[in-house]
């Protein structure tokens, strides 16, 4: 935050503008920006996050991408009541401080869940059927030289453990049921509306699964949730798919297990230190890599626009928010 240097007259003009449209503070660190700013400006008075003129009066903050919202950021916003997020994850927001102050938080999970689920299934099929590896085999001219490529494995009938049965996890489950898979799940709490078997212990889920799909939120409790013990329980024929956050998996232990054949393969859209990816993974034919694009399509971004505008309008109309995050 920085003090305004515009002078008292311009400051007064800015304060007068507050009465024209609802005030929204935009928090966006480079390279993240709002592609539909014009649409928002027709409905709201958008304020740059570096302009402290309005800080004491701001009730809503629009957080663009994973721009960090720390306790220090929140300290400069004494009137803040709501943070509207534009990403599926909220690990970049100090949720404990929001809970303490009664600040509500929304995410963009509903906009991204279908495309994220499609991508998770795509990664899974790619790993099981070795599609990307077979593509490289053909392009390298190895088919005439070495003959048929090794067989992959079918998806139907597999036991799939979903870690995090939220928006994306639920959509993944729907798709896997259509493939004839048997679903079980782990989450913070058992869901009364879900008939799939629930495992409170992640190792027990892994021991009863052929595949683990990771799509839960990253928190202090879930950091490195998937470790060597979980991978050992999953077994040598096990496959791990991660479309959540990179730090949900102990990456070093994952690399070791893959190199030593302690699990069968992995499909990874996210990594601990993006955009840096462990170079050991580049050499493994049983690993499919993606640059954190599971949820990104033109359709999902169009839906995101509607969700952000809808959450902002709901807040200023005292109506229920469209995608509130459970802070408990």
| Number of Cβ within a 10 Å radius of residue 123 | 25
Is 323 contained in some domain?
no
Q: How far is CA 247 from CA 214, 254, 302, 319, in A?
A: 11, 11, 28, 35
> Which two tokens mark 117?
């689920």
Is 45 contained in some domain?
yes
Q: Per-residue confidence at 31, pLDDT binned at 50, 70, 90?
A: confident
Element (H, E) at 213: strand 211-214
* Three-state secondary structure call for residue 302: helix
Helices (H), 77-158: 95-101, 109-129, 131-139, 142-146
274 & 169 share domain: yes
Mean pLDDT of 35-64: 89
260 has a pLDDT exceeding 70: yes
Is 322 contained in some domain?
no
Above pLDDT 90, what percent of the chain? Answer: 88
Q: Which domain holds residue 132?
A: 112-289
Q: Which long-range contacts (CB under 8 A, 24 or more apart) does 315-324 make?
A: 315/59, 315/60, 315/81, 315/82, 315/84, 316/22, 316/60, 321/82, 321/104, 321/106, 322/106, 322/110, 323/106, 323/107, 323/108, 323/109, 323/110, 324/104, 324/105, 324/106
Q: What is the pLDDT of residue 34?
A: 86
CATH number assigned to the domain comprising residue 159:
3.40.50.720
66 & 155 share domain: no
**pLDDT, tens digit (0-9, with 9 covering 90-100), for 280-303:** 999 999 999 999 999 999 999 999
Mean pLDDT of 167-193: 97
Is 38 contained in some domain?
yes
| Catalytic residue annotation | 245, 274, 292
44 has a pLDDT exceeding 70: yes
**pLDDT, tens digit (0-9, with 9 covering 90-100), for 1-10:** 333 334 445 5
Q: What is the pLDDT of residue 12?
A: 55
Handedness of CA 26, 32, 38, 39 (dihedral sign): negative
127 & 263 share domain: yes
Mean pLDDT of 27-35: 85
Residues linked to residue 23 through DSSP beta bridges, in sequence order: 45
145 & 278 share domain: yes
123 & 243 share domain: yes
Q: What is the pLDDT of residue 70?
A: 96
Q: What is the pLDDT of residue 20?
A: 81
Q: What is the pLDDT of residue 211?
A: 98
125 & 27 share domain: no
Q: Per-residue confidence at 35, pLDDT binned at 50, 70, 90?
A: confident
pTM: 0.89
**pLDDT, tens digit (0-9, with 9 covering 90-100), for 133-142:** 999 999 999 9
Q: Per-residue confidence at 267, pLDDT binned at 50, 70, 90?
A: very high
Is 87 contained in some domain?
yes
184 has a pLDDT exceeding 90: yes
How many domains are there within the chain?
2
96 & 22 share domain: yes
The answer to whether 223 touches 251, Cβ cutoff 8 Å, is no
Q: How far apart are CA 326 and CA 315, in angstroms?
A: 17
263 & 158 share domain: yes
235 has a pLDDT exceeding 60: yes
Q: Which of 173, 179, 176 is nearest to 156 (CA)?
A: 179
Q: What residue has token string 């004494």?
A: 78
Element (H, E) at 8: helix 8-17
87 has a pLDDT exceeding 90: yes
215 & 305 share domain: no
Is 283 contained in some domain?
yes
177 & 248 share domain: yes
Q: What is the pLDDT of residue 25?
A: 95
97 has a pLDDT exceeding 50: yes
228 & 303 share domain: no
**pLDDT, tens digit (0-9, with 9 covering 90-100), for 201-234:** 999 999 999 999 999 999 999 999 999 999 999 9
Q: Which residues contact 13 (CB under 8 A, 6 or more apart)?
A: none
117 & 103 share domain: no
Q: What is the pLDDT of residue 29?
A: 86
């Amino acid at each position: 935050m920085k003090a305004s240097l515009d002078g008292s007259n311009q400051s007064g003009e800015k304060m007068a503008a507050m009465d024209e449209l609802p005030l929204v503070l935009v928090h966006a660190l480079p390279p993240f920006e709002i592609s539909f700013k014009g649409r928002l400006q027709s409905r709201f008075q958008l304020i740059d996050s570096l302009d402290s003129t309005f800080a004491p009066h701001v009730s809503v903050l629009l957080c663009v991408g994973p721009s960090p919202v720390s306790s220090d950021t929140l300290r400069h916003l004494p009137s803040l009541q709501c943070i509207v997020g534009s990403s599926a994850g909220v690990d970049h927001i100090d949720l404990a401080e929001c809970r303490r102050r009664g600040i509500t938080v929304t995410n963009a999970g509903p906009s991204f869940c279908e495309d994220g689920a499609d991508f998770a299934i795509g990664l899974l099929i790619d790993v099981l059927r070795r599609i990307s590896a077979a593509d490289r085999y053909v392009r390298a001219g190895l088919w005439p030289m070495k003959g048929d490529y090794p067989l992959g494995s079918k998806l139907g009938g597999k036991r799939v453990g979903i870690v995090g049965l939220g928006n994306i996890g639920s959509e993944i489950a729907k798709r896997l049921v259509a493939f004839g898979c048997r679903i079980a799940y782990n989450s913070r709490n058992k869901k009364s509306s879900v008939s799939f078997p629930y495992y409170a212990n992640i190792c027990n889920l892994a021991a009863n699964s052929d595949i683990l799909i990771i799509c839960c939120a990253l928190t202090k409790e879930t950091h490195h949730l998937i470790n060597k013990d979980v991978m050992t329980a999953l077994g040598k024929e096990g496959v791990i798919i991660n479309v959540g956050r990179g730090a949900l998996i102990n990456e070093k232990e994952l690399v070791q297990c893959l190199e030593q054949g302690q699990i069968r393969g992995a499909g990874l859209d996210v990594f601990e230190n993006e955009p840096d990816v462990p170079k050991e993974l580049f050499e493994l034919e049983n690993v499919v890599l993606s640059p954190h694009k599971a949820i990104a399509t033109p359709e999902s971004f169009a839906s995101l626009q509607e969700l952000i505008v809808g959450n902002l309008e709901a807040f200023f109309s005292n109506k229920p928010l469209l995608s509130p995050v459970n802070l408990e």
